[in-house]
């Protein structure tokens, strides 16, 4: 049965790979400037960030309303290490992700005891603390409200085509890692905790340890996304750690559908493109997130991914029904013929 699945999946993967490789060139030719490529790069970065959130929220059932804080911690760490110590990027970018992961673990330690709504409040508080810390830091080492400028990655420069493939490599590796982790004892433990924490404990799962793992992995990915983001945009300010950004990540995740690979990608891409289309109405961003979340909760509980799945299975069911009908008809006719 598994071999059939693999055979069916291979052409899809190859097709997807070709599409992903050809798309940026096509976009560049059709539009004639680099701007859409930049948006595609941002989509790739947000896919990493939201993948982090999905592992925490989608799989383990632990809400975080402060994930933008991990994003900015990653970004500021790499930026500040560069500015103050002139360390090379291949050290500072991982450093950003690792510091973010450590903070995630630190936050998870007390947070793993909290139930859903208390946890959401704790993560909101974490986001606010990060914001105010960056905004008025001791001695102003984070440059406070001005934010920080970084030089970017020299071999990528402002060639967004190169950036695209650089980021695509990261995303592919991360998604492979996600699939591998989810289809393991760790992934099953995450799901078990989400489904029934009490029973998970009784069945030998160290609930606390796995919640901490989920927080750490999640913060690592979101921090890494932030560390890459700052070099792409070359600037970051404390504003990025505000509630708005955390809500954006959550909206992307819920709109696409939680606990899946495709859902994250669909959610990020569709919301980001939508945001670009309504750029003139930026003040209404939060309003739009709210409306989108309502639509998802009421009309599409599984997000885009869930909607597509339902559509496919419905169509399959209808097809199967039709085939049965045809078979029944054929049989009836055959019987009639036999009678005559």
Stretch that binds another protein, among 21-29, 77-85, 179-187, 248-256 (CB under 8 A): 179-187
Query: What is the smallest separation between the CB atom of 208 and another protein, expressed in angstroms?
Result: 9
Of residues 205 and 236, the one with the C-beta less far from another protein: 205
Determine if 186 is a binding residue for another protein (CB under 8 A): yes
CB 221 within 8 A of CB 174: yes
Determine if 171 is a binding residue for another protein (CB under 8 A): no
Determine if 232 is a binding residue for another protein (CB under 8 A): no
Positions 201 through 230 that interact with another protein (CB under 8 A): 201-207, 213
Determine if 198 is a binding residue for another protein (CB under 8 A): yes
Determine if 115 is a binding residue for another protein (CB under 8 A): no
Determine if 14 is a binding residue for another protein (CB under 8 A): no
Query: What is the smallest separation between the CB atom of 214 and another protein, expressed in angstroms?
Result: 11
263-292 mask for another protein (x: CB under 8 A)? ------------------------------
Instruction: Please select the residue that binds another protein; options are 191, 233, 293, 308, rule is CB under 8 A.
Output: 191
Neighbours of 179 (CB within 10 A): 12
Separation between Cα atoms, residue 103 and residue 191, nearest integer Å: 23
Query: What is the smallest separation between the CB atom of 177 and another protein, expressed in angstroms?
Result: 6
CB 87 within 8 A of CB 222: no
Instruction: Please select the residue that binds another protein; options are 13, 91, 199, 274, rule is CB under 8 A.
Output: 199
Which residues bind to another protein, rule: CB under 8 A? 177, 180-181, 183-189, 191-192, 195-196, 198-207, 213
């Amino acid at each position: 049965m598994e071999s059939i699945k693999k055979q069916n999946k291979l052409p899809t993967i190859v097709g997807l790979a070709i599409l992903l490789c050809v798309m940026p060139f096509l976009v560049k030719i059709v539009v004639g400037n680099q701007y859409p490529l930049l948006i595609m790069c941002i989509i790739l970065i947000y896919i990493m960030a939201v993948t982090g959130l999905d592992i925490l929220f989608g799989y383990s059932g632990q809400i975080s309303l402060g994930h933008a804080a991990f994003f900015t911690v990653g970004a500021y760490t790499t930026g500040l290490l560069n500015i103050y110590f002139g360390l090379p990027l291949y050290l500072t970018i991982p450093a950003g992700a690792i510091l973010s992961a450590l903070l995630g673990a630190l936050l998870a330690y007390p947070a793993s005891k909290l139930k859903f709504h208390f946890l959401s409040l704790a993560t909101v508080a974490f986001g606010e603390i990060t914001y105010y810390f960056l905004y008025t830091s001791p001695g102003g080492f984070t440059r406070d409200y001005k934010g920080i400028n970084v030089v970017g990655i020299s071999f990528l420069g402002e060639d967004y085509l190169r950036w695209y493939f650089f980021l695509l490599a990261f995303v592919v590796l991360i998604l492979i890692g996600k699939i591998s982790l989810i289809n393991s004892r760790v992934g099953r433990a995450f799901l078990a905790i989400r489904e029934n924490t009490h029973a998970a404990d009784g069945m030998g799962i160290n609930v606390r340890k796995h919640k901490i793992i989920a927080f750490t992995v999640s913060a690592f990915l979101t921090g890494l996304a932030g560390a890459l983001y700052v070099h792409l945009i070359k600037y970051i300010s404390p504003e990025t750690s505000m509630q708005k950004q955390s809500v954006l990540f959550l909206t992307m995740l819920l709109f696409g559908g939680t606990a899946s690979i495709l859902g994250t990608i669909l959610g990020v891409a569709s919301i980001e493109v939508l945001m670009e289309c309504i750029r003139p109405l930026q003040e209404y961003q939060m309003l739009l997130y709210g409306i989108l979340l309502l639509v998802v909760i009421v009309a599409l509980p599984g997000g885009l991914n869930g909607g597509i799945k339902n559509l496919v299975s419905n169509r399959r069911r209808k097809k199967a029904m039709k085939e049965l009908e045809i078979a029944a008809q054929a049989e009836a006719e055959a019987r009639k013929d036999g009678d005559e």
